[in-house]
Amino acid sequence: MAMIEVEDLHKRYGPVHALRGISFEVERGVLTGFLGPNGAGKSTTLRILAGFLGATEGRVRVSGFDLSTHRLEAAQKIGYMPETSPLYPEMKIEEYLRFRAELKGVGRSKRTEEVGRACELTRIADRRRMLIRDLSKGYRQRVGLADALLGRPPLLILDEPTAGFDPNQVQQVRALLDALREDHTIFLSTHILSEVEATCEEAVVIHEGRVVASGNIEALRQRKRAGVVEVTFHRGEGELKEAALDTWLTREHAIASARRRRTEGELETWRVTLGPGVDPSAIAALVARLVHAGAGIQAVEPLAASLEEVFADLTGGTPDDDDDDPEDEG
Ligand X SMILES: Nc1ncnc2c1ncn2[C@@H]1O[C@H](COP(=O)(O)OP(=O)(O)O)[C@@H](O)[C@H]1O
Q: Can you give the binding site for Mg ion, defined by CB under 5 A?
A: 42-43, 83
- Give the closest residue to 297 by CA, choosing from 276, 321, 270: 270
Q: Residue 34 carries which side chain, given as an amino acid letter? A: F
User: Three-class SS of residue 34?
Assistant: strand
Q: Which residue is nearest to Mg ion (CB)?
A: 43
**Out of Mg ion, ligand X, none, which partner does residue 33 contact, by CB within 5 to 8 A per kind?**
none
Residue 251 CB partners (closer than 8 Å, separation 6+): none
**Out of Mg ion, ligand X, none, which partner does residue 40 contact, by CB within 5 to 8 A per kind?**
ligand X
Q: Which is nearer to ligand X, 71 or 191 (CB)?
A: 191
- Asked if residue 164 binds ligand X (CB under 6 A), the reply is no
Kindly calculate the radius of gyration of the chain based on its CA atoms and give it in whole angstroms. Answer: 25
- Closest approach, Cβ 39 to ligand X, in A, equals 4
- Closest approach, Cβ 13 to ligand X, in A, equals 3
**Out of Mg ion, ligand X, none, which partner does residue 219 contact, by CB within 5 to 8 A per kind?**
none
> Binding to ligand X (CB under 6 A): which residues in 42-101?
42-44
- Asked if residue 13 binds ligand X (CB under 6 A), the reply is yes
User: Three-class SS of residue 264?
Assistant: strand
Q: Which is nearer to ligand X, 41 or 144 (CB)?
A: 41
- Closest approach, Cβ 198 to ligand X, in A, equals 19
Distance, in Å, from the CA atom of 216 to the CA atom of 174, rounded to the nearest integer, reads 19
Of the ranges 10-18, 210-218, 256-264, 304-312, which one interacts with ligand X (CB under 6 A)? 10-18
The alpha carbon dihedral of 213, 219, 220, 225 has a sign of negative
- Give the closest residue to 82 by CA, choosing from 102, 60, 100: 100
The DSSP call for residue 305 is P
Q: Which is nearer to Mg ion, 42 or 235 (CB)?
A: 42
Rounded to 5 degrees, what angle do the CA atoms 163, 39, 322 make? 75
Q: How many residues bind ligand X (CB under 6 A)?
A: 11
Distance, in Å, from the CA atom of 65 to the CA atom of 86, rounded to the nearest integer, reads 26
Q: Which is nearer to Mg ion, 63 or 189 (CB)?
A: 189
Q: Which is nearer to Mg ion, 11 or 42 (CB)?
A: 42
Q: Which is nearer to Mg ion, 45 or 306 (CB)?
A: 45
Beta-strand (E) ranges in 166-323? Answer: 185-190, 202-207, 210-216, 228-234, 255-264, 267-274, 296-302
Distance, in Å, from the CA atom of 132 to the CA atom of 149, rounded to the nearest integer, reads 18
Q: In whole angstroms, what separates CA 171 from the centre of its chain?
A: 17
- Closest approach, Cβ 98 to ligand X, in A, equals 30
CA end-to-end span of the chain: 35
Q: Which is nearer to Mg ion, 122 or 190 (CB)?
A: 190
Q: Which is nearer to Mg ion, 123 or 210 (CB)?
A: 210
**Out of ligand X, Mg ion, none, which partner does residue 326 contact, by CB within 5 to 8 A per kind?**
none
**Out of Mg ion, ligand X, none, which partner does residue 44 contact, by CB within 5 to 8 A per kind?**
ligand X
> Binding to ligand X (CB under 6 A): which residues in 14-43?
16, 18, 36, 38-43
- 231 sits in the region (left: phi over 0; alpha: psi -120 to 50; else beta) called beta
**Out of ligand X, Mg ion, none, which partner does residue 39 contact, by CB within 5 to 8 A per kind?**
ligand X
- Closest approach, Cβ 183 to Mg ion, in A, equals 26
Distance, in Å, from the CA atom of 226 to the CA atom of 220, rounded to the nearest integer, reads 12
The alpha carbon dihedral of 39, 41, 47, 52 has a sign of positive
**Out of Mg ion, ligand X, none, which partner does residue 18 contact, by CB within 5 to 8 A per kind?**
ligand X
Site residues (vs ligand X, CB under 6 A):
13, 16, 18, 36, 38-44
